[in-house]
């Protein structure tokens, strides 16, 4: 009787082992925050009026997995759908390029600029929602001589074009592009 149990147990372990080895591992997908147009070689033209200061993002966003809201106050990072670079860097570079493109002049980091007015940004929300949308909530302001001059809030949602994390990455990119356009519009109006 004990021999039969041992053979049965060994058979079950062998079946589980074979099943585990036969399933293909899930491949992780990586996404970049990049402009859609092809980069061109050109001389940079620094904005004489504005420079880019701090760009902060909420801690929950600054991790590899794309974030999806699964319920009120509940967020879940995707294990197999990740940003290819740290979000704090990706968002900063993306906004810098998009604002520069919309402004028509290059927005240099404040350490490399002589501009007196600094643009600062704080992103508090950037994630997918359980009802198939992407959401952003950001604050930005202009600082001159250490004083906040023009505070703004930017909040929008965008429905995903289709199901899936690739669509979420595209929607989040579009929301960040909208934020950059909003900032550039204000900069143009104030210069």
Question: What is 29-190's CATH number, 3.60.21.10, 3.40.50.10610, 3.40.50.10860, 1.20.120.330?
Answer: 3.40.50.10610
Query: What digits encode the pLDDT tens for the residues 49-86?
Result: 999 999 999 999 999 999 999 988 899 999 999 999 99
pLDDT more than 70, % of the chain: 88
Q: Please spell the DSSP secondary structure of 152-184, one letter per residue.
A: EEEEEEEE-SSSSHHHHHHHHHHHHHHHHHHHH
In the chain, domain spans: 29-190
Distances (CA, A) of 22 to 14, 15, 16, 18, 25: 12, 11, 10, 6, 9
> CA 23, CA 191: separation in Å to the nearest integer?
60
What is the structure's pLDDT at 191?
73
Query: What digits encode the pLDDT tens for the residues 76-122?
Result: 999 999 999 999 999 999 999 999 999 999 999 999 999 999 999 99
pTM: 0.85
């Amino acid at each position: 009787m004990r021999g039969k149990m041992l053979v049965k147990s060994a058979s079950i372990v062998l079946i589980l082992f074979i099943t585990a080895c036969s399933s293909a591992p899930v491949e992780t997908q990586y996404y970049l925050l990049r402009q859609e147009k092809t980069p061109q070689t050109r001389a940079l033209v620094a904005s004489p009026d504005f420079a880019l200061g701090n760009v902060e993002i909420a801690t929950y966003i600054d991790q590899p997995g794309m974030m999806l809201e699964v319920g009120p106050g509940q967020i879940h990072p995707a294990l197999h759908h990740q940003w290819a670079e740290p979000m704090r860097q990706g968002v900063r570079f993306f906004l810098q390029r998009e604002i520069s493109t919309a402004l028509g002049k290059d927005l240099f980091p404040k350490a490399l600029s002589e501009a007196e007015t600094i643009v600062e940004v704080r992103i508090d929300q950037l994630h997918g929602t359980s009802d198939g949308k992407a959401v952003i909530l950001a604050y930005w302001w202009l600082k001159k001589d250490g004083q906040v001059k023009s505070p703004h809030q930017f909040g929008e949602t965008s429905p995903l074009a289709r199901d899936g994390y690739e669509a979420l990455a595209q929607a989040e990119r579009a929301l960040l592009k909208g934020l950059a356009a909003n900032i550039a519009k204000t900069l143009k109006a104030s210069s």
